[in-house]
Structure 1
């Protein structure tokens, strides 16, 4: 990159950094690539964020906010509880199989790459999971009241079991990039509800 760096608003810098970290992980993301993608020089980048770790945390939080916003939109959308849960699974499959963007869920990537090594990443991951769990629990409670799901098991337990299947599906979406396979997982998950 030559000439004057592009001017960015703070959110644009974080989104550009998120794209780098999402594609390469924390360890695989160089300061040089972060500078190139954000359009900022090394000094400007570090003056704004302090260090690579702080930029990573900002990017991870940004990703989580965007993802939870999308997931909440699906889970609070129209239709029965069962239809909303199906749409969430279908959205996950679509995200993981998108031809132009074969990247795993950044939340999962961060948890697997950095969760055990970095307490701050672990805390951000737990907070994100708790928010998704709360949204899922609400949908299961609505489904129980409507008679869609059994009330013999608490809504929280059902939400956690579903969340396990959802994240398992997202991991499989990276290793088994086969739409028919993933839709069989989806159907099996829905059949157990």
Structure 2
């Protein structure tokens, strides 16, 4: 699928470093076809970013909505993120975070897409925290929204750290400390 291939290129190189020629070469199409099929580099990037966001949101939801104790599911989800990032030989990190860093607030469309992903993930964390509070695993006196924001920030920080860490030790400490905070 062309959008998947483009997503891999943008994820590896970033938007600015990806030339239309690079996309044409990767997709095995002519320049005219790139513009006819997708409208151009930016439109293809938007499709690739949306694809990435959809994949990430469904992966997180699947891990958090599974069976078992809340803290175990949360630990599994955080370990999954850490292991996936560390296993990537290119250490690309998270395309959404990379995009937020590259674009900043200079592009409202991109900002809105990334913010939407963060909102959905934070919402999933909040639902999980509230479930844990109902089950007695998490103190019901704690602010579920604040804990969800903390969890989102933890994941984002882990994803950035995984780009440069040589192994899992730091990320495991972060995961353990995060679960202990709950």
Looking at structure 1, the residues matched to 138 and 172 of structure 2 have their Cα atoms a distance apart, in angstroms, of 21
In structure 2, the partner of 1:186 is 175
In structure 1, the partner of 2:159 is 170
TM-score when normalising by structure 1: 0.90
Q: How much does 1:99 deviate? A: 4.7
RMSD: 1.2
In structure 2, the partner of 1:4 is none
Count of residues in correspondence between the two structures: 182
Q: How much does 1:73 deviate? A: 0.6
Residues 59-138 of structure 1: pairs in structure 2 closer than 5 A: 59-138=48-127
In structure 1, the partner of 2:138 is 149
TM-score when normalising by structure 2: 0.95
Check conservation: 2:122, 2:151, Cα contact below 8 A: no
Looking at structure 2, the residues matched to 190 and 177 of structure 1 have their Cα atoms a distance apart, in angstroms, of 23
Looking at structure 2, the residues matched to 153 and 167 of structure 1 have their Cα atoms a distance apart, in angstroms, of 22
Q: How much does 1:101 deviate? A: 4.3
Moved over 3 A (4+): none
Unaligned residue ranges in structure 2 (runs of 5+): none
In structure 2, the partner of 1:8 is none
Q: How much does 1:115 deviate? A: 3.2
Q: How much does 1:85 deviate? A: 0.8
Unaligned residue ranges in structure 1 (runs of 5+): 1-11
